[in-house]
């Protein structure tokens, strides 16, 4: 359940901004969140040096 907290927080912020008629800012937050999600999924994993 804790994994959904950031998603729900961003959704709440976007809905709040939309309700306040700050749709451009809401769209910017949405696109930034999407970009962060994509970057976190495709970034290479940090590899530890090989040890015996």
- What's the pLDDT tens digit per position in 1-44? 888 999 999 999 999 999 999 999 999 999 999 999 999 888 86
pLDDT of residue 8: 96
Q: How far, rounded to the nearest angstrom, does the alpha carbon of residue 44 sit from its chain's CA centroid?
A: 18
pLDDT of residue 1: 82
Determine the Cα–Cα distance for residues 27 and 34; give it in Å rounded to an integer: 10
Q: Is residue 49 scored above 90 in pLDDT?
A: no
Cβ neighbours for 10, distance < 8 A, ≥ 6 positions apart? 29, 30, 33
Determine the Cα–Cα distance for residues 40 and 11; give it in Å rounded to an integer: 18
pLDDT of residue 24: 97
Determine the Cα–Cα distance for residues 33 and 7; give it in Å rounded to an integer: 9
pTM of the entire predicted model: 0.76
């Amino acid at each position: 359940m804790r994994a959904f907290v950031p998603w729900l927080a961003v959704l709440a912020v976007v809905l709040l901004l939309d309700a306040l008629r700050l749709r451009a800012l809401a769209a910017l937050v949405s696109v930034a969140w999407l970009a962060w999600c994509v970057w976190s999924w495709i970034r290479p994993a940090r590899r530890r040096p090989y040890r015996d």
